[in-house]
A = this chain, B = another copy of it.
Amino acid sequence: MLTGRSPSTPSDDRARPDVAVVGAGPIGLSIAWRCAARGLRVVVHDPASGSGASAVAAGMLSPVAEAYFGERQLTELLLASAARWPAFAAELTEASGVQLGYRTEGTLVVGLTGDDLAEARRLWAYQQGLGLPVTPLRPTELRDREPALAPRVRGGALASTDHQVDPRLLVPALRTAAQRAGALLVPQAVRHLSEVDAAVTVVAAGCGAADLTGLPVRPVKGQILRLRAPGGVAPGFRHVIRGYADGETVYLVPRTDGEVVLGATVEERSDTTVTAGAVLRLLRASVDLLPELAEYDLVETVAGLRPGTPDNAPILGPLPGRPDVLAATGHHRHGIVLTPVTADLIADLVTTGVADPLLTPFQPDRFAGAEPGPGGRPDQMMEEDRWNSR
Give per-residue flags for A288-310: 1 if the beta carbon is below 8 A from chain B beta carbons, else 0: 00000111111101000000000
Chain B residues, CB < 8 A from A283: 276, 279-280, 283
Chain B residue nearest to A260 in the complex (CB): B276
> How far apart are the CA atoms of A123 and B230 in the complex, in Å?
37
Smallest distance from the beta carbon of A364 to chain B beta carbons, Å?
A: 35
List B contacts of A355 (CB < 8 A): none
Q: How far is the CB of A290 from chain B (nearest CB, A)?
A: 10
Q: Contact: B297 with A276, CB < 8 Å?
A: yes
Q: With A and B bound together, what is the CA distance between A296 and B277 in angstroms?
A: 8
Contact (Cβ within 8 A) B277 A287: yes
B-side contacts of A287, CB under 8 Å: 276-277, 280
Given contacts A279-B283, A280-B294, 13 further A-B contacts (CB under 8 A): A227-B276, A275-B294, A275-B296, A275-B298, A276-B283, A276-B286, A276-B294, A276-B298, A277-B287, A277-B293, A277-B294, A280-B284, A280-B287
Chain A positions 252-301 with a Cβ under 8 Å from a chain B Cβ: 273-277, 279-280, 283-284, 286-287, 293-299, 301
* CB<8 Å pairs between A and B, sample of 22: A225-B276, A227-B276, A230-B273, A274-B298, A275-B294, A275-B295, A275-B297, A275-B298, A276-B283, A276-B286, A276-B287, A276-B293, A276-B294, A276-B296, A276-B297, A277-B287, A279-B283, A279-B298, A280-B284, A280-B287, A298-B301, A301-B301
Interface residue SS majority, chain A: helix
Instruction: Name which residue of chain B comes closest to A281, CB basis.
Output: B294
**Which residue of chain B lies nearest to A293 when distances are taken between CB atoms in the complex?**
B276
How many chain copies does the complex carry?
2
A279–B227 CA distance with the chains assembled, in angstroms: 12
CB distance from A301 to the nearest CB of B (A): 6
Contacts of A227 in B (CB 8 A): 276
Bound-complex Cα distance A277 to B276 (A): 14
Query: Which of A227, A280, A284, A296 is the most central at the interface, judged by chain B CB atoms within 10 Å of its CB?
Result: A280
Q: Do B294 and A274 touch across chains, with their CB atoms under 8 A apart? A: no
- Find chain B residues with CB under 8 A from A294 CB: 275-277, 280
Chain B residue with the shortest CB-CB distance to A227: B276
Docked CA distance A225–B284 (Å): 16
A119–B295 Cα distance when bound, in Å, is 28
Which residues on the B side are within 8 Å of A296 (C-beta)?
Answer: 275-276
For A275, list chain B residues within 8 Å (CB): 294-298
A273: chain B residues within 8 A (beta carbon): 230, 297
Residue on B with the closest CB to A223? B298
The smallest beta-carbon distance between A283 and chain B, in angstroms, is 4
Chain B contacts for A301, CB-based, 8 A? 298, 301
Lowest 8 A-B CB distances belong to which pairs? A277-B294, A280-B283, A273-B297, A276-B298, A274-B298, A276-B296, A276-B293, A227-B276
Which A residues between 53 and 97 are near B, CB-CB below 8 angstroms?
A: none
Instruction: Write the nearest CB–CB distance from A270 to chain B, whole angstroms.
Output: 14
The CA of A273 and the CA of B258, in the complex, are separated in Å by 15
Q: A181 to nearest B CB, angstroms?
A: 41
| A274 to B279 alpha-carbon distance, docked (Å) | 14
Q: Which of A221-250 contact B (CB under 8 A)?
A: 225, 227, 230
Which residue of B is nearest A262, CB measured?
B276
In whole angstroms, how far apart are the Cα atoms of A294 and B284 in the complex? Answer: 13
